[in-house]
Amino acid sequence: MSSSKSRLDRFISRQTGIKRGDVRSVLAQGRVLVDGKAARDIAQQIDQFSHVTFDGRSLQAQQALYVMLNKPAAVVSATKDAEHTTVIDILRRDDREQLHIAGRLDFNSTGLLLLSNDGDWSRQLSLPERQIPKVYTVTLAQPLNTDYVAAFAAGMYFQYENITTRPAQLRIVSDYVAEVSLCEGRYHQIKRMFGRFQNEVLTLHRHRIGGLDLDESLAPGESRDLTRSELAQIAHY
């Protein structure tokens, strides 16, 4: 869903049938409010979340939604799927059909997943120039050593896509557990990187995006709206 902007006169004409040339006089009479304030400028820009009223009647009052979900395993990161339960299916909220996924997790991966109805916000999260890191806790089948740290930092060449991954940070937490931080999300990237060492990923859990940490009080499958401070942590990272 896009939050692209529109001129107020176009919006009013489209919603009410009033000719665009007559909208100026309607605004001069104070009959249109945008976010609670009388609108006077026909060229004022509004977006999908601007609250617009005309003669006290609401023309648009959609609320921006930003949701944190603790994704469980065996749930697909999609809005619809004919075979599997989706993250939308498990949301316990009436407005869930408005939401889309802002950065997926693989079927058996768990942890922090963001959803929104604000398309521009979601796109900002994935812009390469923003370099927003995603941080994962990874449990492996075989023990780790410092060779992994160097290989992840150097990047790895994936022949199928003909690309070299960006440098990633790997911190060894224990013999079989690593914390991995990366700024991209290639197909099964972390599993494929560990696959270079013939080391199977047993569990993959995302616990941070940028400066935003997963609320550990959320049980798997539970969700809540992001707070203003959490939105700021993403916006200003």
Q: Is 81 a catalytic residue?
A: no
Q: Is 210 in contact with 133 (CB distance < 8 Å)? A: yes
Check 106, 118, 213, 225 and give the catalytic one: 106
Cα separation, 89 vs 78, in Å, equals 9
DSSP string, the chain: -----EEHHHHHHHHH---HHHHHHHHHTT-EEETTEE---TT-EE-TT--EEETTEEEE-PPP-EEEEEEPSS-BSSS--SSS-BHHHH--STTGGG-EESS---TT-EEEEEEES-HHHHHHHT-GGG---EEEEEEESS---HHHHHHHHH--EETTTTEEPPP-EEEEEETTEEEEEES---TTHHHHHHHTTT--EEEEEEEEETTEEP-TTSPTT-EEEPPHHHHHHHHT-
Which active-site residues does the annotation give?
Answer: 106
